[in-house]
Structure formats: structure tokens, C-alpha cells
Amino acid sequence: CDVVEEDSEEEPKLKYERLANGVTEILQKDAASCMTVHDKFLALGTHFGKVFLLDIQGNLTQKFDISPVKINQISLDESGEHMGICSEDGKVQVFGLYTREGFHENFDCPVKVVALHPRFSSSNYKQFVTGGNKLLLYEKNWLNRWKTSTLHEGEGTITNVQWRANLIAWANNMGVKIYDISTKQRITNVLRDNVSLRPDMYPCSLCWKDNSTLIIGWGSSIKICVVKERGHAELRDLPSRYVEIVSAFETEFFISGLAPLADQLVTLYFVKENSDHMEEEFRARPCLDIIQPLPEGYEEISSDALTVRNFQENECRDYRLEHSEGESLYYIISPKDIVVAKERDQDDHIDWLLDKKKYEEALMAAEISFKNIKRHEVQKIGMAYINHLVEKGDYDTAARKCQKVLGKNMELWENEVYRFKTIGQLKVILELTILSAISQYLPRGDLRLRPAIYEMILHEFLKSDYEGFATLIREWPGELYNNMTIVQAVTDHLKKDPTNSTLLTTLAELYTYDQRYDRALEIYLRLRHKDVYQLIHKHDLFSSIEDKIVLLMDFDKEKAVDMLLDNEDKISIDRVVEELRDRPELLHIYLHKLFKRDHHKGQRYHERQIGLYAEYDRPNLLPFLRDSIHCPLEKVLRHFQTVCSNTNVNEVHFF
């Protein structure tokens, strides 16, 4: 319900809700005059003399017809088993809600207040007080009869009384008194500050914070009083207790009610007519503030203007504030409306952040308090954040948040991929999220989207970004998508650009994933790709390179020869020599390295090597002849004569 006029920039401390159900119907025909709160139920008094018992949600559970005129006050004991009621026509009733015992009395003047001993249910504490023009104490004696004694009179009408433990506090026209029922001593008199204000128009508000701290609000002043014990040396003829005012200050408003909130105060107030610090439209509304009392002043923590029903017709005396200590609930009572205020929880905090579009803060708050939040889910908040970022056009940030928010939810991932494709931002989400997300989750099999999703993404990159496409192929395991589908797509693109090295390399990688190593090898050799040797070794492709030895040596002679020599059991020396017969310069390199490794393995080719050394490597010819034992001298001389005549060699040294 729209109860609060709140500051749009500052988060409220309390949340509000109208007490409805049975209350709505009651207040349509009648008007609230007072209410008392118990942790288990509520007791509402009306101007037509009715008392209604309600559950915490405002549903009617019981009704009492007490008087034809206004109910002034209702009192409950701690147990919630006994109730005291007084009315404007002088009636006083005290009775058990679940027993037949009761007290009924009619006075010849209005009775304004009534208060039961907090432990009234116990037989030792059958005591209550009433107040009109005097404060009367009723006690049950041992004969089970009520005995009456006057605690105070002569200072005007008693307008408020509050009983806590052994202490009774009451207010009359002159001030506030406190009486100790255990010692039967009056221990203080706190004088009223602003005597110019009519006490019937601006009544005193009293509230016990605990068994020894009384909060007094009257007119525009607030006092916090602490009841303390006197030392034995101080007693003499003085009461055993005294009151110290620990905080006293003036406010800018008229107080209608007070209640504690930890070390702070909740104040219900009526704005002064001459106040110039509030806008005109708020002047007649009651306000609920949280303030921090100081020794001689206060600090405002929060302030809410309340739009209660018929607020335009109400005055300061028409409002009351009651609170439930157990639940930290605060009830704002006015003649035609009852509003419940309670402290905001983490769910409310997140509501406010979301309403203000502070999504990142809301997400952080939900993550920190995920065990305590009841109405919100971290992932739903994250999705709202992503939606907000997309609507703003901040696609980079939205994509970055996907990995954290979507986690391992396959359906959400697929939805986001389709959404980013629809808005033409698929590359953004891919570049910023899926590469890292997939590499993080897929190796463990935690997250796997449908192959169609990956294929859609790959096609998207293939259309406009070959490098990005190649990166995805390298990063993603081949089983994520239908390999043949992507091979066909790459092949189609190569028809338009047959020499594109990026596409060719990627196609080779796809063939490798598909174990079509011979096709991959052809491309690597064509491109002179550095990975060709690794591919041969890793997949034992020596049978596939027997007819490609020249290509391998043209690419990298040293690596090719080392590989051939290391694997002569797979490609024989004779096969290599046969393949290199038309490339004597490459044959020499191969046979030279073979000879360096083993003087005997290539002995059948030593005679041929004489000519190869003479043609391509003369400095190593004599060392070769010296070390080889497989070249007959006459053949060496014959080769030398041929070599000298063909190469203009004039000098040859023999050893």
C-alpha cells in the first residue's frame, strides 16, 4: 500500500503495511481510540465503546461490548491472559480472557487510564491502577477482596500510565511521576516543560525501554530517564531509588508516540503548523522518524511521511504509537487507519536497490546474504542485471556478467546466445564469456550446450572473422559440434579464397580432430606449417609421408633429416634415397648425416657419396674418404678422375 512518501534518493529504514482484514471493516463503521499490542495478538478499542481482539494480521477473533462511549485505554499483562479496560463513561473492567474471574466498577467521572501489574496472572500480583482525577491502586487481599488506595491526586487529570516490573509511571497536568510498588515510594517528579500547550491536545507519551529506562515525550520535548539505586550513605530519609535524566532535547515537531529501537528511538509526530522545513503537502501528515538520542540533542536517521486515511482531519492527540518488543513491530494508530511498520530486511534492501536500478549492488547484496533472503534469488537478480545492461546497450558488461550469473545453467546459456545473436552482438558474448566459460567447465563435463549452438556460433564467426573462427576451433574440443558440418562450411569458404592461410590451417585442425591426418598433413606441408612434424610424430603418419619426403626437406632440411634418421625403422634408407634421387643436393644432406651417425649403415651408397661430396661439400670429402672403409681404392681413383675432369679440380691429396 502507498503509505509512505519516501525520499527517492535515500533508502528507508522501515517498511509499512496497512493492517487490513477485519480492521478495515471495523474502522469503516467505527473509529480507533486506543490499541494495546501483545506478541500473540492485538486489542483494539473504539470510539463506540467496543474492544476487538485481533490476530497479528488484523483478523477479528473476539469482540467485547464494553460501553456506549469511547474506550480510553486497554492494558494486558505479560502472559496475555488478562485484560483491563477503561472508558469515558467511568467504567473499569479487569477480567481473564480464559477464566471467569473479573473486576467491574463504575465511576462518576471518566477514567482515562488503566494498567495491570505485568505479572497479574500470578496470584501474588493481583494489582492494577486506574486514573481519572486521581491515581488509584487496586490490590486483592488474602480474603480475595479488592482493596483500594490512592497513590496520587490533586494535579489534574491522569492522562497516561505505564507499568513495568515494580515501577509505575504516570502523567498528569504537572508532569511525570514514578512510583516503586515494592517499596511503596514515589521516587521522582519530572516536570512538564512547555506549560503553554494544552495537555488534552498534546498528551504525554510514555514508554519503558527496559525495567529501568523510561522515555518521555511531551509536546516537542523528549527526555530519557534512568532509574538508579542510591548508595547506602545517601539514603537517610530519601527513597532507595532516584531518576537521572541522561538525555533531554527539543524537537521541531509535536510528539504523538515513542518506542525504542535498539539504542535509537522511533518517534511518531505531528508537524508543527509554523514549521517551514517541510513542504506544504506534507504538513498535515504524521511522520515516523528514527532518531539517535544524544545527551543534549539528537541525530535524525530516517524520516517517513505517512499517508494515513483521513490524515487531513487528525490532530496530534489522534495518533498513538504502540510496539511489539518480541517482533520489532511498530503500530501507528489513527482513528480511521492502522499502519504497521517493521525494520526492513535484506529482501527489502534488495527490492529498493532493484527499484533504483542499482543492479550490481543488488546482486552483491544477494550473494552475500543468499542464506537469509527469502523472496529473491541470486540468479534472477543477475538476469535482471543482464537484461538492464542489454537494454542500455552496454553489451560488453552484459556479456561479462553472463559467466558469473548463468553458471552451469545450460538453458540460460542457450537463451543468452540466441538473444545476443538476435541483437547482432553474438561476437561480444563469445569474445568475453564463452571462450573462458567453456574452457573452465567443459573439460569436467559440467556444461555442454547443444551442438547446434556451437555450430551457429562458428558459422557466425566464419562469416566475418576468420581469426576469431580459428581461435574457437583451437579452444573448443572437437566433440562439441558436428565436425563434418564445419569442414564443409570451411571448404565452401576456401572456394572463394583458396589461398587463405588461416582457413587452411583451421581446416587442417578440423581434419586432425576427425582423424583424417593425411588430409591435414597435405595442408600443413602446403603451408609449410611448423606443426607438421609434431603431427607426423603424434599420429605416426610415416606411411603417409613416404612420397612427401622432398616437400618435407624443402620446408626444413634439418628437421626432416633428423626425423627420417630417427625413424628409419618406419621409412627405410633405401626408400628415402629413392625419393631423393632427382634432388642430389637433398640426397647428399641426408646421406652425410646418416654417415655422421653411423659409418656403416649407408655403405652401399658410399661410392655415390664421393661425387655428392665433390659436387656439394668438398671440405668434407677427404674426411669422408678417410673414415669410410667401404670405398675400394681403384673406384675412388676412377671417381676422382671423373670428378676432376668435370669440376676442374687440379689437386687431390691422398693419405
- What gap in Å lies between CA 318 and CA 161, rounded to an integer? 17
- What gap in Å lies between CA 487 and CA 67, rounded to an integer? 93
Q: Between 117 and 603, name the one with better pLDDT.
A: 117
544-552: average pLDDT: 85
Would you say residue 153 has pLDDT above 90? Answer: yes
Domain boundaries, the chain: 19-158, 202-274+282-343, 346-446, 450-514, 528-654
Mean pLDDT value across the chain: 86
350-354: average pLDDT: 92
- Contact (CB, 8 A) for 266 and 277: no
Would you say residue 560 has pLDDT above 70? Answer: yes
What pLDDT is recorded for position 641? 62
Would you say residue 434 has pLDDT above 70? Answer: no
What pLDDT is recorded for position 442? 36
Would you say residue 633 has pLDDT above 90? Answer: no
Task: Tell me if 19-158 shares its fold with 202-274+282-343.
Answer: yes
Name the CATH superfamily housing domain 202-274+282-343: YVTN repeat-like/Quinoprotein amine dehydrogenase (2.130.10.10)
**Lowest-pLDDT choice from 115-129, 553-567, 592-606, 628-642:** 628-642
179 closest CA partner among 141, 227, 222: 227
Would you say residue 144 has pLDDT above 90? Answer: no
Number of helical (H) and strand (E) elements in the chain, helices listed first: 22, 29
Express each pLDDT in 383-431 by its tens digit: 999 999 998 988 888 888 887 888 878 888 888 888 888 887 776 666 6
**Sorting pLDDT into bands at 50, 70 and 90, what band is 642?**
low
**Sorting pLDDT into bands at 50, 70 and 90, what band is 6?**
low
- What gap in Å lies between CA 116 and CA 103, rounded to an integer? 12
What pLDDT is recorded for position 274? 45
What pLDDT is recorded for position 479? 84
- What gap in Å lies between CA 649 and CA 82, rounded to an integer? 134
Would you say residue 574 has pLDDT above 50? Answer: yes
Distances (CA, A) of 86 to 74, 75, 181, 362: 7, 9, 22, 50
High-pLDDT (> 90) share of the chain, %: 50
What pLDDT is recorded for position 525? 83
Q: Between 16 and 430, name the one with better pLDDT.
A: 16
**Lowest-pLDDT choice from 462-471, 526-535, 562-571:** 526-535
Would you say residue 224 has pLDDT above 90? Answer: yes
Contacts within 8 Å (CB) and 24+ apart, 554-560: 554/586, 555/525, 555/528, 557/586, 557/589, 559/533, 560/533
**Lowest-pLDDT choice from 4-13, 20-29, 298-307:** 4-13
Listing from the earlier edge strand, what are the strands of the sheet with 127-131? 113-116, 127-131, 134-140, 146-153
**Sorting pLDDT into bands at 50, 70 and 90, what band is 435?**
low
Could you please state the CATH topology (level 3) that the domain comprising 19-158 is classified under. Answer: Methylamine Dehydrogenase; Chain H (2.130.10)
- What gap in Å lies between CA 381 and CA 395, rounded to an integer? 17
**Sorting pLDDT into bands at 50, 70 and 90, what band is 227?**
very high
What pLDDT is recorded for position 293? 94
Express each pLDDT in 33-72 by its tens digit: 999 999 999 999 999 999 999 999 999 999 999 999 999 9
A 10 A CB-CB count for 410 gives 15
Would you say residue 520 has pLDDT above 80? Answer: yes
What pLDDT is recorded for position 431? 60
What pLDDT is recorded for position 534? 83
**Sorting pLDDT into bands at 50, 70 and 90, what band is 556?**
confident
| CA terminus-to-terminus distance, the chain | 115
- What gap in Å lies between CA 587 and CA 601, rounded to an integer? 15
Express each pLDDT in 97-138 by its tens digit: 988 778 888 888 899 999 999 999 988 889 999 999 999 999
**Sorting pLDDT into bands at 50, 70 and 90, what band is 143?**
confident
**In which element (H, E) is residue 31 found?**
none
**Sorting pLDDT into bands at 50, 70 and 90, what band is 635?**
low
Q: Between 559 and 634, name the one with better pLDDT.
A: 559
Would you say residue 277 has pLDDT above 60? Answer: no
Would you say residue 234 has pLDDT above 50? Answer: yes
**Sorting pLDDT into bands at 50, 70 and 90, what band is 476?**
confident
